[in-house]
Structure 1
Amino acid sequence: MLKTVNRVLLGLLGLGLFALGGGVLLGALDLQRHWDFGVPGWWPFRGPDDVVLGDWGRTRWRDEGWWWPTVIAVLALLLALLLWWLIAQRRHRLDRVLVDSEDGAAARLNGRTLERVIEEEAQALDGVSRAHVRLTGRRTAPTARVRLLLEPHADPARTLGRVSRETLAHARDSAGLDRLPSKVRLREARHRAERTT
């Protein structure tokens, strides 16, 4: 549900910004005169000399002491809401994973602990220089994001197979999860060449 709401809001926001930008571009390039078409009477950008906020708009409420502080407060609130929305879109790290203890009650497993265990087991594999794991998603259905830094001699396909079949399978089974969807990113470690004399 949240994904659908986010997509609809992002689509509407993008469509509105696209329409506004296109309208400003029409006026700035004076396309209505070049291509011989008209714009609605309420549209403020009719030519390249028009501005977003003219003298009348800037001075209209000058005598009202509340106007500009209110405008600034509303814009600041809008910016804060947009920043909050942007931060809320990030996939948050799971602090707890719910584990089926098979006695009718769900136990809670510390998410950071499970991440560290997966990292340590992955780093123990041949050819893995460093591993970083982040659990995201829901507490009952976590997703693992794994980044591996491989040594130059490592075989990426073999390493990926072992991480999937062994490391992630152990984590899934030990946490009592039906599945543990994972994204694994592999990167090769680059060592500086050392000059020997």
Structure 2
Amino acid sequence: MSGVPLLGAVNRALLALAGLVLLAAGISVLTASWPFGGPNAPLLRRRWHLEGGWWWVVFAALALCVLLALWWLTAQLRRSRLAALAVDTGDGGFAVLRGRALESAVAAEVSALDGVARCRVALRGRRGAPTLRVALELEPHAVPADALAALAGPVLTHARTSAGLPALPTEARLKITPHPAQRVA
């Protein structure tokens, strides 16, 4: 499981490198520094003879593509999980609580509940306003209301007090594990 973030970082780095290469090639072709003609004959003017008013549509579409690519790149570089929280120690100082540690503690408590088959927890948001996303996979015999009440009660209360947070908004997604039909003989 620890290899997944590294793979994501490599993926992002390779995509950024490919984007930079393509951007450099595109600028080179449009400014005619590519061997398609001299400095007085840019590729677009030489090939399509940009006469008339349709040329602005081409450049607007290219600008839109560049803006969408930049938006996508910033979305890829943005972290989806909160790395750490600052916890007030009570003596005027702060301690750093790693986000993965809080996620693991909540997941361990939830997984110990009756009827929970599997649990995934993600700490998101900002340091000042963290939120939890909890995905519960319940066993077929489990009562969803009981699992949700146990999560909302002691588990989240313990997480809030441990992290020193006045509130910890939580989104819970419940899924029931399918089971094969039983045959009656």
With structure 1 as the length reference, what TM-score do the two structures score? 0.58
Shift of residue 98 of structure 1? 1.2
Inter-partner Cα distance in structure 1 for 2:84 and 2:148: 26
Distance 1:194 1:91, change over 3 A: farther
Partner of 2:108: 120
Cα RMSD (Å): 3.2
Describe the SS at the equivalent of 1:81.
helix
Percent identity at matched positions?
46
Describe the SS at the equivalent of 1:167.
helix
Are the equivalent residues in 2 in contact too, given 1:100–1:177 (CA < 8 A)? no
Q: Counterparts of 1:76-91 in structure 2 under 5 Å?
A: 77-87=66-76
Inter-partner Cα distance in structure 2 for 1:186 and 1:91: 25
Are the equivalent residues in 2 in contact too, given 1:151–1:189 (CA < 8 A)? yes
Shift of residue 60 of structure 1? 1.6
**Aligned partner (choices 163, 177, 181) of residue 165 of structure 2:** 177
With structure 2 as the length reference, what TM-score do the two structures score? 0.62
Partner of 1:107: 95
Inter-partner Cα distance in structure 2 for 1:134 and 1:179: 16
Is the radius of gyration larger for structure 1 or structure 2?
A: 1
Inter-partner Cα distance in structure 1 for 2:79 and 2:148: 24
Describe the SS at the equivalent of 2:155.
helix
Inter-partner Cα distance in structure 2 for 1:84 and 1:181: 29
Cα deviation code 1:6-36 (max 9, x no counterpart): xxxxxxxxxxxxxxxxxxxxxxxxxxxxxxx
Matched, 1:167 2:158: no
Shift of residue 111 of structure 1? 0.3
Count of residue pairs the alignment pairs up: 134
Are the equivalent residues in 2 in contact too, given 1:91–1:137 (CA < 8 A)? no
**Aligned partner (choices 129, 136, 141) of residue 117 of structure 2:** 129
Distance 1:146 1:57, change over 3 A: farther
Inter-partner Cα distance in structure 1 for 2:47 and 2:74: 31
Shift of residue 129 of structure 1? 0.4
Distance 1:75 1:180, change over 3 A: closer
**Aligned partner (choices 147, 158, 162) of residue 146 of structure 2:** 158
Inter-partner Cα distance in structure 1 for 2:46 and 2:67: 21
**Structure 2: any 5+ residue segments left out of the alignment?**
1-44, 52-58
